[in-house]
Amino acid sequence: MRGVLLAAALLAFAPLASAQTATNDILGPCADDAARLCASVAAGHGAKMKCLSEHEAELGPECKERMTAVKARMKELADEVENLCGGDGKRLCPDRTLGSGLLPCLAEHEKDLSQPCRDWLDAHRGHGGAAP
């Protein structure tokens, strides 16, 4: 799940990207805040997003707006997974949770998934290189 949510977060940042660097492209209106507040944080696995969230009160208005949108989209994705794949997850991957390997586990059991869950996974494969 974490991979898909991270991909969604990265995709949400991409439309307003600047042309400075790959990291700045992904962070868009949060690039300056990330450089100022999270310079020591290595990029990858949502570390910059987590750092920005921890400094929410210090973010510029455009970055705050983007972070709010990204969080809302991540919640939507989590709700979709729960609604469409929750039963499959409990049945096939009882020891996994959102953010702790659920989606890769579901992908390993693709042939045993309900059709709605399989359709959701198929629709979200390959976004940002985070296929389950």
The pLDDT of residue 91 is above 90:
yes
Residue 7 has pLDDT above 60, yes or no: no
Name the residue ranges covered by the structural domains of the chain: 2-129
21-39: average pLDDT: 80
What percentage of residues in the chain have a pLDDT greater than 90? 48
Q: What is the mean pLDDT of residues 34-42?
A: 91
- The encoded tokens of residue 49 equal 């997003």
What pLDDT, on a 0 to 100 scale, did the predictor assign at position 80?
92
Q: What is the mean pLDDT of residues 48-77?
A: 91
Q: At what angle do helices 61-92 and 115-124 cross, to 10 degrees?
A: 140
Supply the pLDDT for residue 23. 53
Q: What is the per-residue pLDDT across 14-26, written as a single tens digit (0 to 9) for each?
A: 443 333 345 556 7
Q: Provide φ and ψ at 3, rounded to 5°.
A: -60, -45
Q: 65: which residues sit within 8 A by CB, 6+ positions away? A: 29
pLDDT tens for each residue of 71-82 = 898 899 999 999
Query: pTM, whole model, 2 decimals?
Result: 0.64
